[in-house]
């Protein structure tokens, strides 16, 4: 067990492990990556693993482009395996109002020099025969999109960080971040204290518990997401494009000879992680296959295979959502040396290579030469709260979110159709 570090990263999911990797890669930074569970074992490996390039802002498009380049070169750069497929995707509209959104997406994609084009419903069916043209009023092909194996990202970054000198401490629970005179001085763990001037709270579903143990309140809420992987199916090829049905918020992609599919729920289940027992893991999360059955029925005219295919795996994760749909990334203004990497609204794993590198630069360069991420969600003025009072801006508190007292988080495909991956 170490006693000192320059940076302690709490949480070895995609964002935490990527941040640790890029810090270690810089050299001269003593990095410790801690997790209360096994490395990269919680929500990240249970994600859908899709890269969606057509985002709502120029900054997000720039970041996701950077992220997919890093995914493509991951094995060479990080030295760990990562399987990925450049499949492209099809966004389909079943309502006139969604067709209007697709038209706006097309123009934004062209401005961002993405490979986008409107296609007919019949052409969409030709590209992915599992998608039937019935009821499709418009379709957009996004050639830049791709998917990857979500189980390999966080673990790969963690092992890559270790190879570059980082200390990995799985099964090490952080009980509090020590703060003196408004500055981070270290962390307390179940295995002893570690002195460090910088801490990154990337604890995923437990982000709020880590922060609140040190008097910091952060406006995010852990939210259930569920998906299905089917048994192998005739006609499934790895290069079939991802399909996204906008109004239904259903997505489908190839996976090991079958299909991986899920839905962004209208009324997702929110959790207070403090209510779970100490040994709780994401694999123990209660699932509801009725949600998936309802989604399959909703898109039965376009994707009848979803209801017909045999289920091989039913899994779920607990990503963190924010009320404004923005990430929570960067330093809290109330405590020097306390950084967040969370609140990624079901879009964290695919963009983690870019955000991890950017946050590492932000920590080391503070922020003279770091990529400006303020429009993305940091610095956290008005969002990361100490004692319940925001230094400036609006007042948001997680308990209010849990009580439903604030506008619920943006639900992908519903309030912002086509935004999420």
Domain boundary among 316, 341, 356: 316
163 and 287 co-located in one domain: no
* Whether the predicted pLDDT of 402 surpasses 50: no
Question: What pLDDT is recorded for position 140?
Answer: 98
* Whether the predicted pLDDT of 400 surpasses 80: no
137 and 246 co-located in one domain: yes
Note the pLDDT tens digit of each residue in 373-393: 554 554 444 344 333 222 222
Question: What pLDDT is recorded for position 84?
Answer: 98
Stretch among 52-66, 126-140, 194-208 having the lowest mean pLDDT: 52-66
Region 256-279: what's the mean pLDDT?
94
Question: What pLDDT is recorded for position 373?
Answer: 55
Domain harbouring 167, CATH code: 3.50.50.60
What distance in Å separates the CA atoms of residue 330 and residue 384, rounded to the nearest whole number?
10
What distance in Å separates the CA atoms of residue 62 and residue 84, rounded to the nearest whole number?
20
The answer as to whether 410 is a domain residue is no
93 and 131 co-located in one domain: yes
The answer as to whether 408 is a domain residue is no
228 and 312 co-located in one domain: yes
Question: What pLDDT is recorded for position 390?
Answer: 27
The answer as to whether 54 is a domain residue is no
Region 283-312: what's the mean pLDDT?
97
The answer as to whether 263 is a domain residue is yes
The answer as to whether 66 is a domain residue is no
What distance in Å separates the CA atoms of residue 19 and residue 29, rounded to the nearest whole number?
12
201 and 129 co-located in one domain: no
Question: What pLDDT is recorded for position 367?
Answer: 58
The answer as to whether 56 is a domain residue is no
Domain boundary among 256, 281, 316: 316
Domain harbouring 122, CATH code: 3.30.9.10
Region 309-338: what's the mean pLDDT?
92
Tally of domains in the chain: 2
Whose tokens are 């997790």? That residue is: 35
Whose tokens are 């709780």? That residue is: 280
The answer as to whether 78 is a domain residue is no
**Three-state secondary structure of the chain:** CCCECCEEEECCCHHHHHHHHHHHHHCCCCEEEECCCCCCCCCHHHCCCEECCCCCCHHHHHHHHHHHHHHHCHHHHHCCCCCEECCCEEEEECCHHHHHHHHHHHHHHHHCCCCEEEECHHHHHHHCCCCCCCCCCEEEEECCCEEECHHHHHHHHHHHHHHCCCEEECCCCEEEEEEECCEEEEEEECCEEEECCEEEECCHHHHHHHHHCCCEECCCEEECEEEEEECCCCCCCCCCCEEEECCCCEEEEEECCEEEEEECCCCCCECCHHHCCCCCCHHHCCCCHHHHHHHHHHCCCCCCHHHHCCEEEEEEECCEECCCCCCEEEECCCCECEEEEECCCCCHHHHHHHHHHHHHHHHHHCCCCCCCCHHHCCCCCCCCEECCECCCCCCCCHHHHHHCCCCCCCCECCCECCCCC
The answer as to whether 217 is a domain residue is yes
Domain boundary among 316, 351, 369: 316
* Whether the predicted pLDDT of 134 surpasses 70: yes
| Token code pair at residue 190 | 């179940």
- For all residues of the chain together, what is the average pLDDT? 88
Question: What pLDDT is recorded for position 333?
Answer: 86
Question: What pLDDT is recorded for position 384?
Answer: 43
232 and 294 co-located in one domain: yes
Stretch among 68-72, 242-246, 251-255, 326-330 having the lowest mean pLDDT: 326-330
Whose tokens are 């009725």? That residue is: 290
* Whether the predicted pLDDT of 204 surpasses 50: yes
pTM above 0.95, yes or no: no
232 and 298 co-located in one domain: yes
Burial class (CB in 10 A: 0-12, 13-18, 19+), 135: middle
Note the pLDDT tens digit of each residue in 59-101: 899 999 999 999 999 999 999 999 999 999 999 999 999 999 9
CB 303 within 8 A of CB 129: no
279 and 264 co-located in one domain: yes
Range of the domain at 234: 84-146+224-316
> Integer distance in angstroms from the first to the last C-alpha of the chain?
38
234 and 376 co-located in one domain: no
Q: What percent of the chain has pLDDT over 70?
A: 87
CB 183 within 8 A of CB 197: yes
110 and 168 co-located in one domain: no
Question: What pLDDT is recorded for position 274?
Answer: 92
């Amino acid at each position: 067990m170490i006693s000192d570090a320059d940076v302690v990263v709490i949480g070895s999911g995609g964002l935490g492990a990527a941040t640790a990797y890029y810090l270690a890669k810089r050299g001269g930074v003593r990095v410790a990556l801690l997790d209360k569970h096994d490395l990269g074992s919680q929500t990240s490996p249970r994600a859908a693993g899709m890269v969606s390039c057509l985002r709502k802002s120029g900054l997000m498009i720039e970041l996701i482009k950077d992220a997919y380049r890093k995914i493509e070169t991951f094995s060479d750069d990080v030295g760990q395996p990562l399987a990925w497929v450049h499949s492209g995707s099809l966004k389909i509209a079943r309502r006139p109002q969604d067709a209007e959104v697709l038209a706006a997406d097309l123009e934004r994609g062209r401005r961002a020099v993405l490979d986008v084009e409107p296609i007919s419903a019949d052409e969409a069916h030709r590209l992915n025969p599992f998608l039937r043209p019935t009821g499709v009023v418009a379709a957009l092909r996004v050639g830049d999109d791709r998917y990857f194996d979500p189980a390999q990202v966080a673990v790969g970054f963690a092992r890559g960080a270790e190879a570059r000198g980082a200390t990995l401490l799985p099964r090490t629970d952080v009980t509090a971040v020590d703060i003196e005179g408004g500055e981070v001085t270290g962390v307390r763990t179940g295995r002893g204290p570690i002195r460090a001037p910088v801490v990154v709270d990337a604890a995923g579903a437990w982000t709020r518990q880590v922060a609140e143990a040190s008097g910091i309140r952060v406006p995010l809420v852990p939210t259930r997401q569920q998906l299905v992987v089917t048994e192998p199916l005739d006609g499934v090829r790895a290069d079939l494009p991802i399909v996204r049905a906008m109004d239904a918020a259903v997505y489908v992609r190839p996976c090991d000879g079958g299909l991986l599919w899920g839905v962004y729920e209208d009324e997702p289940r929110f959790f207070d992680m403090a209510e779970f027992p100490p040994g709780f893991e994401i694999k123990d999360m209660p699932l509801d296959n009725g949600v998936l059955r309802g989604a399959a029925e909703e898109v039965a005219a376009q994707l009848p295979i979803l209801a017909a295919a045999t289920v091989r795996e039913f899994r779920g994760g607990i990503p963190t959502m924010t009320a404004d749909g923005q990430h929570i990334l960067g330093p809290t203004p109330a405590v020097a040396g306390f950084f967040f990497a969370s609140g990624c609204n079901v879009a964290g794993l695919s963009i983690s290579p870019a955000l991890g590198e950017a946050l590492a630069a932000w920590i080391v360069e503070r922020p003279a030469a770091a990529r400006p991420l303020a429009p993305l969600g940091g610095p956290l003025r008005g969002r990361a709260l100490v004692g319940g009072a925001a230094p400036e801006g609006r007042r948001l508190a997680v308990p209010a979110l849990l009580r439903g007292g604030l506008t619920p988080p943006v639900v992908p495909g519903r309030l912002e159709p086509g935004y999420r991956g």
